[in-house]
Structure 1
Amino acid sequence: MRISSVTMFEQSVSSMNRQQGEFLKVSQQIASGRRVVNPSDDPQAASRAVGVDQAKAVTQQYADARVSARNSLSQTESVLNSVNDAIASAKTLMVQASSDTLSDADRQSVASELRGIYETVIGQGNATDGNGRHLFGGYQDSSAPFVKKADGAGGEYIDYVGDSNTREQRIDASRLMKVSENGESIFNSVPSGAGYVAEAGKFNAQGERIGDNAGSVTFSGPQVIDNGNSDYGESFRVVFTSDTEYSVEKENTTGGWDTLTSGNTYDPASSSVSAGGLRLELKGEAVAGDTVEFAPADEMNTNLFQTFEKALKVLENEAGNPVSPERSAERRNTLNTVMREFDNSLDNVLTKRAAVGARLNELDVVDSVAGNRMLNYEQTLSDLVDLDYAQAISDYSLRQVGLQASQKTFADMKGMSLFNYL
């Protein structure tokens, strides 16, 4: 076989380049800490690593979404805590205002403090999340959900202009979580099983209170005496047909009233009315046309702001007016109704707060599960592409020796010539 000097040089250079390439590849692996630097190093592992990287990125996106959800829920919980404290303070003031020993000035002082709480609750209802979005506006979160409007009689009322939707956020592949509550469900609702509420006064066909009673009848209750009664859960009213007689009526499905009993004798000293498994205690002087209605809480006033307005009206308008049995009865009845409504509103806020707290706890659980998932992804990715340093250092030393041998061989061969053997 004919061997030329050019052949020997080419083979030596080729061997040296190959050894140098393998040495540089191992050096690159050690520098990057990865076994698979280029897809060609291990196509199958590189392909699987891309899938794992994508899964990690999605998991991280959900983690970022949970941070946002936690911030929104934490702010909601904080506001609900403030509303809870405000309602509790208002209840305390109602107990104080119910005392017959208070003077006009005392009740004006109570009314002034109550109005401050009222304004605070309005402010909490219009709270924002720090990014300009209102917490309780539903999808209509760009503007305040609770606004003051004129009632046409020289007064004002609070109107909810948000919607009944609730913002949601996907916190995991299989979990879409509510991250807020709408104002309707917090400030204009009562919890299920809230019981009965009674209210004295004259009402229109729509159940709206349109006037005060003319007499001085006061009520207490209603108390549940038989929740198994077939009529339990229906709406009732006591209508005085004279100062000594009354009838008991039940609301029918069309919004009208059917008479259950009539011609009942009324004792101003104390009378007990039973209907639908409930008992209502009445006393005081009655006038024909006076009415006391008692119905499930969700069919009566459920608006927290309207509850404040009723209490403020009876406290602020009483100052300077002569104290009469009728006005005293009106105040007592209104405050009794208001305290029950505050109880129901407080229970509702506590229920919503508990639900928000449960979602915050769920976020912690999902975070823990996602953390374990990320660890699994990291381990899988490490198994696929990460470098075994002990093996790599051994290969590095071997490639270094191989490269040095190639360089030594080339240095020795380049001084040889076939002419030396002629």
Structure 2
Amino acid sequence: MRISSSQYFTLNVETMNNQQASLANMYAQISSGKALQTAADNPLGAAQAVALSSQAANLAQYTTNQSSALTSLQQEDSTLTSVTNVMQSIQSLVVNAGNGTLNNTDRTSLATQLQGYRSTLMTLANTTDSNGNYIFAGFQGGSKPFSDNPSGVGASYSGGPGQRVVQISDTRTINVADPGSAIFQSVSSNESSPVASGASANTGSGTISPVSVTNSGDPANASTYTITFGTTTTGTPPTTTTVSSYSVTALDPTTGTTTTVTPPTPYTAGGNITVGSQTVAISGTPAAGDTFTVAPANTGKTSDTDIFTTLDSLVNALKQPADTSAAQATLQNALTTAGTKISNTYNNVLTTQTAVGGRSQEVTATQTATQTTSTQTASNLSDLVSVNLPSAISQYEMTQNSLQAAQQAFAQIQKMSLFNYLTG
């Protein structure tokens, strides 16, 4: 097969052009540090690089979200710690208020102190983050969640009912803020005690004790029990005896019906009275018509679980003179009721704080996993698109030397012809 001079020259020029193009591509890779200049360089690798870049961007956003979530949870935890400290101070004050040696002036002073604690709680309930959002406002972070009621008793909640959430991974979102209504106007279903109280209109000296629960799983404990005092006459005339007695009725929360569970029964001061699987003791001398109540911690009424209502009622009770046995009994009953409600709120705050701590730990663990994945993704992407400089430079020099040798050889071959040989 004959190869013409023009074919030979064309072939050599094309080869040198290809080598020059290869050198230009190598130079671009070395100067940019990227092995993939265009998708044509490595179509499969380019597709993988796009996928890895997208994954890296998502992981970077999740990292940002995790930091934001952790900051929010840490602030909530810190605020709840302050709330528990205030609640402990309030509990100590309630115990102190029950000291029988205190006079009216002493109790008024305690009421003033209690008002200060209430104001502190209100400030904590309206805590804002660094962006000015209220951390206990639910979905409505820009709205102040709590404000005092016009009546002067309790507070109203204006925040949203839900929890703000942040996505911290492909498959996980996490709550970063609890609504204030679930903290300051609610109680824990598992850590709350039934509430015993005496009617403010009672005229006797009867006082009720905190409730003792013998079987927390008894459905009957969901009813609200009313203990009503009266008198019962026993015996046959002319020999009769009139004694103080009590009867118990139960209000079913499901049906709304009231039934008598204990008929008129002679009253013994200090004796236990059974209501469902619960017992209370009433001491002193209740007057006919006096009533006492034993109710679940959460009856469905916000006023029964609102800590601000509880504190306002207690402040009012402490400010009332307790110069008679009836007034002293009213104060003692108010302290018993408030003590239970405050304890229930305190336990609810602790339950919430425990949940916040658990979510913080989950975010921290997710941060670690995300960092590991991000590092691996970056490494994989680098392996795909980054240039191995020592190898690339070595390959560049080899190609350059090859091109120079081809050029020199081609220059010598160009001089070779039969005419040159005959005339040489």
TM category (shorter chain) comes to 0.7 to 0.9
| Kept after mapping to 2: 8 A contact 1:138/1:162 | yes
Pair 1:345 & 2:345 matched: yes
| Kept after mapping to 1: 8 A contact 2:104/2:322 | no
| Kept after mapping to 2: 8 A contact 1:12/1:409 | no
Amino acid at match of 1:313: N
Match in the other structure for 2:236:
none
Match in the other structure for 1:158:
155
Match in the other structure for 2:240:
none
Match in the other structure for 1:369:
369
SS at match of 2:205: coil
CA distance in 2, matches of 1:228, 1:395: 80
Match in the other structure for 2:224:
235
Displacement of 1:411 in angstroms is: 6.4
CA distance 1:177–1:227, change in 2 (3 Å): closer
Match in the other structure for 1:195:
193
CA distance 1:328–1:401, change in 2 (3 Å): same
Match in the other structure for 2:234:
none
CA distance in 1, matches of 2:4, 2:281: 127
Displacement of 1:401 in angstroms is: 1.1
Pair 1:175 & 2:176 matched: no
Displacement of 1:413 in angstroms is: 7.1
Displacement of 1:18 in angstroms is: 3.4
For residues 51-110 of structure 1, give each alpha carbon's deviation from its aligned partner in whole angstroms, at most 9, with x where no partner exists. Answer: 111111112222211122112211111111111111111101111111111233322222
CA distance in 1, matches of 2:411, 2:55: 52
CA distance in 1, matches of 2:330, 2:23: 97
Q: 1:304 aligns with which of 303, 307, 314?
A: 307
The residue correspondences of 1:5-154 to structure 2 (distance < 5 A) are 15-151=15-151
- The number of equivalent residue pairs is 404
Bigger mean CA deviation after superposition, 235-244 or 78-87: 235-244
Displacement of 1:417 in angstroms is: 9.0
Displacement of 1:407 in angstroms is: 4.9
Pair 1:273 & 2:273 matched: yes
TM-score by length of 2: 0.87
SS at match of 1:344: helix
For residues 272-293 of structure 1, give each alpha carbon's deviation from its aligned partner in whole angstroms, at most 9, with x where no partner exists. Answer: 2122122211112222221110
Match in the other structure for 1:285:
285
SS at match of 2:220: coil
Displacement of 1:196 in angstroms is: 1.2
Percent sequence identity over aligned pairs: 33
Gaps of 5+ in 2: 232-242
CA distance in 2, matches of 1:70, 1:238: 50
CA distance in 1, matches of 2:148, 2:4: 106
CA distance in 2, matches of 1:33, 1:100: 84
Displacement of 1:192 in angstroms is: 1.3
CA distance in 1, matches of 2:136, 2:12: 79
CA distance in 2, matches of 1:108, 1:134: 33
CA distance 1:18–1:99, change in 2 (3 Å): same
Match in the other structure for 1:257:
258
CA distance 1:168–1:32, change in 2 (3 Å): same
Pair 1:398 & 2:366 matched: no
CA distance in 2, matches of 1:226, 1:19: 90
CA distance 1:270–1:15, change in 2 (3 Å): closer
CA distance in 1, matches of 2:276, 2:246: 17
Match in the other structure for 2:204:
215
